[in-house]
Amino acid sequence: MTFIGQENVTFVKKNKSYPVRALTRKTISYQKRQIFVNVCCIALCPFMMVAIAGILAILIGNLVNNAHPSEGNYIKRLFDINLIKQKEKLF
């Protein structure tokens, strides 16, 4: 059965990879425009989290040491006591 005006219609068989390639090209061009956001999210954010954690550790350590001035360096003494206990277990 042919409809009016469809006598000379030819169907082009499209390759199934065309949509995948188009989507890949679109994604790559979008990511090129978003380079600053990518750098911040991938590199800068984890670095800042580690830096903030280190600063907080130093601040909390100083607060604990200053809270017990008569006992000297509280954290160092705790660490030394744990080392002594481990050495005693070995013998």
- In tens, the pLDDT along 29-65 reads 988 888 888 877 888 888 999 999 999 998 888 887 7
Q: With beta carbons less than 8 A apart as the criterion, state whether 73 and 65 touch.
A: yes
Does residue 57 belong to any structural domain of this protein?
A: yes
Higher pLDDT, residue 49 or 89: 49
Does residue 10 belong to any structural domain of this protein?
A: no
Does residue 3 belong to any structural domain of this protein?
A: no
Does residue 5 belong to any structural domain of this protein?
A: no
- Give the residue carrying structure tokens 């999210």: 41
Global pTM reads: 0.43
Domains held by the chain: number: 1
Structural domain containing residue 82? 18-90
| Other CB atoms within 10 A of residue 18 CB | 9
Amino acid 42: pLDDT: 82
Does residue 9 belong to any structural domain of this protein?
A: no
